[in-house]
Amino acid sequence: MSISDRERAYCKFLDTLGFGNSDDFSLFEKAMRHTSYVHEVDIPIECSYERLEFIGDAVLKLVISKYLYLKYPNYKEGILSKLRGEIVADKTLAQFATKIGLNEFILLSNNERKSGGEHKQSILACAFEAFLGAIYLTCNFDRVEDFIVANFSCDMCKIEENIEKINPKQQLQEYTQEISHSLPEYVLVSKTGSEHNSTFEMAVYFDGKLLAKGCGKSKKNAQQEAARNALEYLKNEGLWKQ
């Protein structure tokens, strides 16, 4: 693809996303230059996406922080941080980049492309953040915010729906320590099945009171299930808020 063909295709891509009226195509182009590419074509490292990635990362975290803060007024800081961490993780951002087709425009060195660089989560995530940085600098914060919420709210909701799967043992421990500076206690109730196909049942207690039980193919999995059931019990009793 020649430079003119690339610019034509990229401008069409930007137009599809609602940024076709931008008067600074060069900044969006910079957002697609991986460091391996600028080294290969021998242009300054400042021409890569690293600086735009820096500002895009900050803007993304602010947008997600605001989104979660307003959507979940009862969630504590720890839970909000865990949710944000899941949303801004490389795996999630790489999926976002692929979803909108950004991966088609990332510029890589020949060696990086041969090694499958266009499929690497870290590269896709960095390019996505750099792209957000370009939106912010050519448009404004509101445009970035609208773009993220409009395009990825469904994906973020899927992550939010799984919040109780984010290490329930840790969440239960945070709750008990806040209440009485003590830890929950896990007790093996039973082990059934053969040696190579066992099922464990664990009970979790707090201050001598049984909160819940859980089963799993390992003690660890059974403890996680018991903790998850304990959190559900505490939530239903109005004793725990996420």
Q: What residues are annotated to the active site?
A: 57, 129
* Closest among 64, 53, 106, 119 to 87, alpha carbons compared: 64
DSSP secondary structure of 184-214: -EEEEEEEEEETTEEEEEEEEEETTEEEEEE
Which residues have a Cβ under 8 Å from the Cβ of 160 and sit 6 or more positions away? 83
Distance of CA 7 to the CA centre of its chain: 30
* Structure-block tokens of residue 152: 């990825």
Identify the bridge partners of residue 204 per DSSP, sorted by sequence position.
186, 212
